[in-house]
Amino acid sequence: MNSEFRFYKENSKCHDLYKDNHKFQTYTFVTEKLRRYSTKGIYEMTIHEVIEAMDQFVDPSDPDIDLPNSIHIYQTAEKIRKDQPDNHELQLCGLMHDLGKILYKFGEPSWNIVGDTFVVGCEYPKSIVYYDSLRENPDFNNPKYNTKFGVYEEKCGIENLKLSFGHDEYLYLVLRRNRNHKLSDKYLNIIRYHSFYSWHSEGEYRRFMIESDFKILEDVQEFNKYDLYSKENEDKIGDDVKEYYRRLIDEYFPGSLVW
Ligand code: FE
Ligand code: FE
């Protein structure tokens, strides 16, 4: 990984965010959030409306960017388009990957929206950023959870692990619940795991993987470079660019979704 990115300082806004995230994301908490958001949504909104709302959201967990999220998502998509002009679904995935941050509109605190994700219900790998603050999590001292396998079994498959809750899992659940779109499962998985750095960039949790997870891992890793490197330029997002994505969205998401 390029060392210019993801440099986490002590005593920063980012550190404060992680302290809360690490303390409150317990196995029980995540189970409840999954139940809450997988059953039914409340607000009906188009993708366009959600993107517009991202003008108001700056991610406090990201040490590399302090611009509204709407700029980051266009830049991610554009980075992909430059590299892969015909891969419309991956471009759209780039545009959409952070839209789960709309949770801020629904009153969720930042520590339940952003930050790298990790598995709840088994021991925490030391490579997690700000690992020490995980000691404040009640699960840390619970022998049911803090073991190599915890509540899981070897090779149970990555999809069966519960990850700390946030914009990734939330958007994944929204896209699973609403089937009136054409975005395929490959991209739903990229969205679901894009903040799972300990897995996709640090090589953790291999003991839970099954054969098909290796392809997912590859897809997520490919996507990650666009997510990171789109933060280095500040190219203006012109109306022509917005129009290009407006059409792409209308093609893949002809109706509104329930969020
Ligand atoms: Fe993200
Ligand atoms: Fe992102």
Complete DSSP assignment for 82-104: HH-TT-HHHHHHHHHTTGGGGGG
Residue 200 CB coordination number (10 Å): 22
> Are the C-beta atoms of 121 and 170 separated by less than 8 Å?
no
pLDDT on residue 233: 61
Q: What distance lies between CA 14 and its chain's CA centroid?
A: 16
Strand partners, 44: 258
The tokens for 108 are 């969720």
C-alpha 72 – ligand 2 centre gap (Å): 7
C-alpha 96 – ligand 1 centre gap (Å): 9
What protein residues have CB closer than 5 angstroms to ion ligand 2? 98, 227
120: enclosing H helix or E strand: strand 119-120
C-alpha 193 – ligand 1 centre gap (Å): 9
pLDDT on residue 1: 46
Residue 212 CB coordination number (10 Å): 11
pLDDT on residue 229: 75
3-state SS class at 44: strand
> Are the C-beta atoms of 129 and 21 separated by less than 8 Å?
no
pLDDT on residue 119: 98
Of all ligands present, the nearest one to the C-alpha of 73 is 2
Residue ranges in the chain modelled with pLDDT below 50 = 1
C-alpha 129 – ligand 2 centre gap (Å): 17
Half-sphere exposure in the Cβ direction for 15 (13 Å, CA) = 8
Q: What is the CA radius of gyration of the chain?
A: 18
Nearest-angstrom CA–CA distance, 241 and 191:
22
Residue with tokens 């809450």: 36
Half-sphere exposure in the Cβ direction for 120 (13 Å, CA) = 24
213: enclosing H helix or E strand: helix 213-229
C-alpha 247 – ligand 1 centre gap (Å): 23
Of 109, 89, 111, 113, give the one whose Cα is nearest residue 101. Answer: 113
